[in-house]
Structure 1
Amino acid sequence: MVWCIVTEYAKGGSVRLFLTRRQNRAVPLKLAVKQALDVARGMAYVHRLGFIHRDLKSDNLLIAADKSIKIADFGVARIEVQTEGMTPETGTYRWMAPEMIQHRPYTQKVDVYSFGIVLWELITGLLPFQNMTAVQAAFAVVNKGVRPVIPNDCLPVLREIMMRCWDINPEVRPPFNDIVKMLEIAETDVLTTVRKARFRCCMTQPMTID
C-alpha cells in the first residue's frame, strides 16, 4: 500500500523562489503583511492541534493563485510532548531556533523563532545570513547572538514582532494567536499609511480649470 498526501497546486511556487525571481527585492509592504498573516493564522491552527512544524521556512511556504500562502512540508512535524526527548537539529539552520541547534529541550516556540526569520525575509526580500554558510549562521546565532539586521524604516510593530519571535528565551516569544493580533495592527497601519500617501499625492497635483 502506498500512502500519499494530495494537496492543491500552488502555481506561485515557494516564497523563497518568489523572492529569488524578484532578485531579492522586498515584497510590497501591504502584500508582505498579508502573507505573513496567512502564515501566522495557519501556524496558530497547527499549534492548536498540538503539532510542531519544525521546519518552517520560506521554501516550505507556497503561493496560491490568489497570492495567499499555504504552509507545506510537514515531513518532520510531530506532536509536541513533554515526557520524552525530541529529535535535535530538525529543520534548516538559517531558520532554526538556538535551542534546537544546541540540542536542548524545545517546544512549539521553535516555530515562532522560524516565523520571525520568515517575516524578515518578506520585509527585506533577502536570504537570512546570506553572507554566511548555514553552519556559520548557526554558530553566530548560538554563540554570538546574531540575528538578521532589521531595516531602519521598518514599521515599529513589525520590528517588535521579529525581535520577540527570535528572542533567545523561548518564553518571551509570543504565541501565534498574539502574533496574528499584532500583524492585524500592522495591516491597519499599512493601509492608513497608503491612504495618507495617496491623499498627499492628490493634494499636490495641479488643478485644472476647464
Structure 2
Amino acid sequence: MSTIRKELVHAAITKSHALIDYNIHNDIHKRHEFRKQTILSDNSLTKDEKTEAIRLLNKDYDRNKILYNEGERRICENCNQECLATLYCEYCIRNYLKSNFSNWTSGNHDIDNLIQKCQMETLMPNMVVEWIPYNDLKDIKYLTKGGFSEIYTAIWVDGGYEEWDSKEQKLERVRGQCAILKELKNVENANQKWFEEVKSHLTISNKWADIIQCYGLTRNISNGNYMLVMMETDMDLRKYLQQNHNQLTWKEKINITFEIVRALYFIHKEDAIHRDLHSGNILYSQFNDHWFISDLGFCGPANKSSKNIYGNLPYIAPEVIIGKKYTFKSDIYSIAMLMWEISFGQPPFINYEHDHNFAMNIVNGIRPRIVLGTPVEYKNLMEQCWDADPSKRPTLV
C-alpha cells in the first residue's frame, strides 16, 4: 500500500461536504452518495487515499443513520436487533458498555448516572464517554490557565475506544493517547443545572465531529476537582493566524470560517448557546486538517446566570453588554468578530483597553475597520452578523 497523505484525505472530505447542495441532496443518503462520488472523481488522490476517504465517510454515514434514525435496518447476527450501522451494531456496543457498568464508578451516583446515560446513547465506537480513573493519566503537565479553569496535558495510558471487534464482541482501545485535561472550578456546590450542562457538553461533543471531543470525566485526587478529558489539538485560531496569516489565501480564510460556522450550526441545532466564542477556543488539528469549537457549556462557572457576562469583551454582543440574555444571535455576533480576525490576522480591537468606555463604544456601534481587499460577499455577511439589532443578524437553524 502506498503512503496515504492524510492531510489531502481530510481536505478532500471537507471539500466534499462544502460542495453539497442541500436542495438537491436533501437527505443523508443522497448526501453520502454525492460525497462518495466527489471523492472518487478527485484526481489529486491516489487509489489508496480514495479508499481511506471512503472508509471515513462510511463511518460518518453510520453515525448519521443512527443520529437521524434513517436508513435500511439489518438484523444483527449477534444480538438479533434491527440496527442501522453497517460497520458495527450500535446495540451491541451499548450492551457491551452496559455489561461493564459494575466494573467502574466515579464514587458519585449522579456522575455515574450521567456517564451511563451518555453511554446508552453512543453512536459509534470512537465516541464513547467514560469515567477515566485519575491514575490512568500519566505525565500530567500544566499547560495554561483559562478564565475559569486550569488546563493540563496528559497521556491516557489505556486510551479511548476506537473500533468495534465484531468477532470478539468488544471495543478496542487506542493505547497511550494524548489528551487535554480541563479542571472545572467552583463545582463543589454543583447542582442539577451543572450536571445538565456537563451532559449537554458530553452529548454534543460526542455526536458532532466539529466539536472538540470530550472522552469523559476524571477527578483530581489532590484537590477533588472534576476534570474534563478532551481531545488534543495543535493550536488555537489566534496562534495559527499569528504564524500563518501572511500565507493564507482568501479561499483558505473562507474555509476556516465555513468550518467554524458549521460547528456552531450543530451547537445551535442542539438548542445550545456557546456564549464565549473567540479565537482562543477555536482549535486546529493538523492531523485532521480541521477546525473545532471547544469550551461548549463551560464559558462560566457552574452557578452562572445566563445574564452574567463571561468571556472576551471584543467578541461579546452589545445587547449582552447592557444586560440582556445570551441568545443564538449573540453567538452570531461573535462569529462576525472571528470573521474579521481571520481577514486581518489579529484579534479585534487589540490596541484598546478592555474597560467600561470600550464596552460602551461597542454598544454605541464601534466595529473594526474592514480590511482592504475583503470579498464583497464576505464583507456583507460580516456586517450583517455584527448588526447592533440582533433580529437583523442571520440564523443558522
2:236 to 4, 14, 18: 14
**Structural RMSD (CA):** 2.1
Q: Which residue pairs with 1:128 in the alignment?
A: 348
What SS does the corresponding residue of 1:69 show, helix, strand or coil? strand
2:276 pairs with 1:51: no
- What's the TM-score once normalised by structure 1's chain length? 0.73
| Aligned residue identity for 1:9 | E
2:228 pairs with 1:5: yes
Distance between the aligned counterparts of 2:375 and 2:387, measured in 1? Answer: 18
What SS does the corresponding residue of 2:283 show, helix, strand or coil? strand
In structure 2, the gaps of 5 or more residues are 1-105, 107-218, 220-225
| Aligned residue identity for 1:157 | E
1:32 to 253, 262, 265: 253
Distance between the aligned counterparts of 2:359 and 2:243, measured in 1? Answer: 26
Distance between the aligned counterparts of 1:138 and 1:69, measured in 2? Answer: 29
Using CA pairs under 8 Å that are at least 6 residues apart, name the structure with larger relative contact order, 1 or 2: 1
Alpha-carbon distance change, 94 to 19 in structure 1, aligned in 2, over 3 angstroms: same
Alpha-carbon distance change, 4 to 106 in structure 1, aligned in 2, over 3 angstroms: closer
Alpha-carbon shift at residue 28 of structure 1 (Å): 2.4
After superposing on structure 2, the runs of 4+ consecutive aligned residues of structure 1 that deviate more than 4 Å are none
Distance between the aligned counterparts of 1:86 and 1:73, measured in 2? Answer: 16
- Answer 1 or 2: which has greater strand percent: 2
Q: String of CA shifts for 1:46-83, please: whole Å, max 9, x gaps.
A: 001010000000000001114321101121279xxxxx
Q: Which has the larger radius of gyration?
A: 2
Asked if structure 2 preserves the Cα contact closer than 8 Å seen for 1:26 and 1:122, the reply is no
- What's the TM-score once normalised by structure 2's chain length? 0.40
1:152 to 366, 372, 387: 372
- Answer 1 or 2: which has greater helix percent: 1
In structure 1, the gaps of 5 or more residues are 79-84, 178-210
Q: How does 1:45-124 map to 2 (within 5 A)?
A: 45-65=266-286, 66-74=288-296, 75-76=298-299, 86-124=306-344
Asked if structure 2 preserves the Cα contact closer than 8 Å seen for 1:124 and 1:151, the reply is yes
What is the percent sequence identity of the aligned residues? 28
